[in-house]
Structure 1
Amino acid sequence: MLPLQQAISLDPQQYVPPLISAVTTIVLFVVVFAVIYLLGRYFVTQAVERSLRHRGFDETLVGLAVSTAVVLTAVVAVALAATVAGFGVVLAAFATLAGALALAVGFAAQDLIANFVAGVFIIQDEPFTVGDWIEWSGNSGVVREIQLRVTKLDTFDNELVTVPNSDLASAAVVNNVANDQRRVSVGFGIGYEDDIEQAREAIIDEGSRIEGVLSDPAPTAPVSSLGDSAVVLSGRIWIDPEESSYGAIRAQFVEAVKGRFDAEGIDMPYPNTELSGGIEVTNVGGAGEAAGD
């Protein structure tokens, strides 16, 4: 029994040095991480925030950059603290795992990343802003909200459209209200027998009477084409898109000119086709005999 008791007896002193070493390593890791993270977060975020705001970047991008800087500071703090504490092997394994995970996530989220990058460029370059009326790829709408992944727009039928930012970044986008002035053009067809000058005067006069139409540039109505059934005059008026609605002004313009043409007897012909020539009918007698039989 004595040899077995001696073999089983444990000396607590033999576990003290490893325990002290483990505690020391953990404390060292925590202290180094806290110091590097807190100092780095303070100085790095301050530098990033001031630099971007000094260059006039959007607040959304500034907030994103600051958040990214905080995450990177934490990663660097973990790496340096692990190195100082002697966790080199663990750190290397973690780096390999993180790299493989990032690669897999990158392949799986290509569209998401593309939309995110496109959103950054849209917010920074500002091809359009909230409230603008834009057209792209045969669609149109008024911008309600610009996010980092998608842009939300309201159609003129009051429908909400959510568009991935990559679609807008890769398409030709027309901003209808980006400039201080916009031209409203409407083609008015008159008969070939009608007086062009009379029609031009009527178009210009009615256009200048509409509230919201600018006097400079002045309304004009040049002949734009000679159609199959009509001489087409292009009525052109200018508006401030921030003050006046394009659709409303155009509708008033068309209605006013139509009423004026009717009042002055100016014809607005619709497309028609005139056939000329003759028709020859043969075998009439033969057809009658066949019917009599």
Structure 2
Amino acid sequence: MVLLRPTVVAVPGQLDPSGLTAYGDFASAVVGFVVGALVVYLFGRLAVVPVVTRVVSSRNRNNPTLETATRTYTHAIVVLAALVGGLVTGGFGSLLTNSALIIAAVTLVLGVAGQEVIGALISGLFLVADPDFNVGDWIAWPGGEGVVEAVDFRVTRVRTVNNETISVPNTELTTNALVRPYGRERYRVTERVDIAYSDDVELALRELVEVARGDDRVLEDPQPTSRIIEFGGSSVTLKAEFWVDSPMDVNLVDLRSQFRRRVKLRFDEVGLTLGPASGREVSGTLDVDLVGE
């Protein structure tokens, strides 16, 4: 006796059962990936990140930079873990054991990221590890100045005196000289003034100090100072220095404007000349010929 196996013939207009099974398997894998990734991410975001950040903060209370960096990098690890968890629950775990595929993916990421992005990431790590660079510090670099708010993977967020937040590439901060002469809680204001050589320089120096003291926002310790810094071609250049509290709590634009306004009024009262015009002495003879009509 010969047994005949039934043959399944696809009839036009009818659905292929094997195709439905493949689509169902794919949909189940996608749902498993989404659910797995979402569960891992929510657990990490709501539990792991706060706990790790709190532990690091408790051990480094004087380093707010490390706190923000820990939150940022821990969140990145959670995202990566969520991706791996989604692959496992979705049935794609075999992809993680394929070394050739992993190497190709890493090569692709490095190629897409490029040297600039990787350099910014490494620069960010150096900034976080630098004990003299912290969130809340007032810094100045060739491109501007302001208070450090956070250090991310690629950029550092800085708030300027105009209350604007700018994103500075980490590489710009690590490749250029950073100036931080102001301290973390105080800011030094420096103003230059030019007076005529014929003016009383000692009087001008005293008046600059008194004008600075006349503003309630100026600190008494350190005391305001003034000094001669340059002899120009037609004027003497003076510099006034005084300190205020955190620059984010004081309107520096208004502070500078008010100081200059009071200096102008005071110098007019005592007979001091601000920004004298340059003078030139001309010597020689001049011949004039009259031409008759």
Describe the shift of the 1:175–1:245 C-alpha distance in structure 2 as closer, same or farther (beyond 3 A). Answer: farther
* Root-mean-square deviation (Å): 4.4
Between the aligned partners of 2:95 and 2:173, the Cα distance in structure 1 is 42
Which of residues 173, 178, 196 is equivalent to 2:178?
173
Instruction: Give the deviation of 1:61 after TM superposition.
Output: 1.9
Between the aligned partners of 2:76 and 2:155, the Cα distance in structure 1 is 20
Higher RCO, 1 vs 2 (CA within 8 Å, ≥6 residues apart): 2
DSSP 3-state at the match of 1:254? helix
Which of residues 107, 113, 116 is equivalent to 2:111?
107
Contact 2:138 2:184 in 1 (8 A): no
Contact 1:183 1:236 in 2 (8 A): yes
Instruction: Give the deviation of 1:256 after TM superposition.
Output: 1.2
Which of residues 248, 263, 267 is equivalent to 1:257?
263
1:266 and 2:275 equivalent? Answer: no
Describe the shift of the 1:227–1:123 C-alpha distance in structure 2 as closer, same or farther (beyond 3 A). Answer: same
Alignment match, 1:149: 154
Alignment match, 2:199: 194
Instruction: Give the deviation of 1:260 after TM superposition.
Output: 0.9
Which of residues 80, 94, 101 is equivalent to 1:97?
101
Between the aligned partners of 2:67 and 2:271, the Cα distance in structure 1 is 58
DSSP 3-state at the match of 2:238? strand
Between the aligned partners of 2:171 and 2:257, the Cα distance in structure 1 is 34
Where structure 1 has 5 or more consecutive residues not aligned to the other structure, the ranges are 10-37, 80-86
Instruction: Give the deviation of 1:268 after TM superposition.
Output: 2.4
Q: Write out aligned runs for 1:107-126 (5 A).
A: 107-110=111-114, 111-123=116-128, 125=130
Between the aligned partners of 2:118 and 2:102, the Cα distance in structure 1 is 18
Where structure 2 has 5 or more consecutive residues not aligned to the other structure, the ranges are 7-39, 61-65
Contact 1:136 1:173 in 2 (8 A): yes
1:245 and 2:245 equivalent? Answer: no
Between the aligned partners of 2:251 and 2:268, the Cα distance in structure 1 is 26
DSSP 3-state at the match of 2:284? coil
Mark the structure with the bigger radius of gyration.
Answer: 1
Q: What TM-score, normalized by structure 1, do the two folds share?
A: 0.62
1:64 and 2:73 equivalent? Answer: yes
Contact 2:196 2:276 in 1 (8 A): no
Contact 1:212 1:239 in 2 (8 A): yes
Between the aligned partners of 1:70 and 1:257, the Cα distance in structure 2 is 57
Instruction: Give the deviation of 1:203 after TM superposition.
Output: 1.8
Instruction: Give the deviation of 1:252 after TM superposition.
Output: 1.9
Alignment match, 1:14: none
Which of residues 227, 236, 261 is equivalent to 1:231?
236
Alignment match, 1:205: 210
Deviations 1:102-126 (A, max 9, x none): 1222122123333334344445547
Q: What TM-score, normalized by structure 2, do the two folds share?
A: 0.62
Give the count of matched residue pairs. 242
Corresponding letter in the other structure for 1:278: G
Between the aligned partners of 1:53 and 1:181, the Cα distance in structure 2 is 24
Contact 1:229 1:269 in 2 (8 A): no
Between the aligned partners of 1:69 and 1:280, the Cα distance in structure 2 is 87
Describe the shift of the 1:268–1:125 C-alpha distance in structure 2 as closer, same or farther (beyond 3 A). Answer: same
Contact 2:157 2:166 in 1 (8 A): yes
Q: Write out aligned runs for 1:11-26 (5 A).
A: none
Identity of aligned residues (%): 27
Between the aligned partners of 2:100 and 2:172, the Cα distance in structure 1 is 35
DSSP 3-state at the match of 1:135? strand
DSSP 3-state at the match of 1:204? helix
Between the aligned partners of 2:204 and 2:158, the Cα distance in structure 1 is 40
| Greater helix content | 1
Between the aligned partners of 2:230 and 2:169, the Cα distance in structure 1 is 40
Contact 2:193 2:239 in 1 (8 A): yes
DSSP 3-state at the match of 1:207? helix
1:220 and 2:229 equivalent? Answer: no
Corresponding letter in the other structure for 1:237: F
Describe the shift of the 1:71–1:261 C-alpha distance in structure 2 as closer, same or farther (beyond 3 A). Answer: closer
Between the aligned partners of 2:207 and 2:128, the Cα distance in structure 1 is 46
DSSP 3-state at the match of 2:226? coil
Deviations 1:37-83 (A, max 9, x none): x9xx99xx79x94975665342552563376379579979x99xxxx
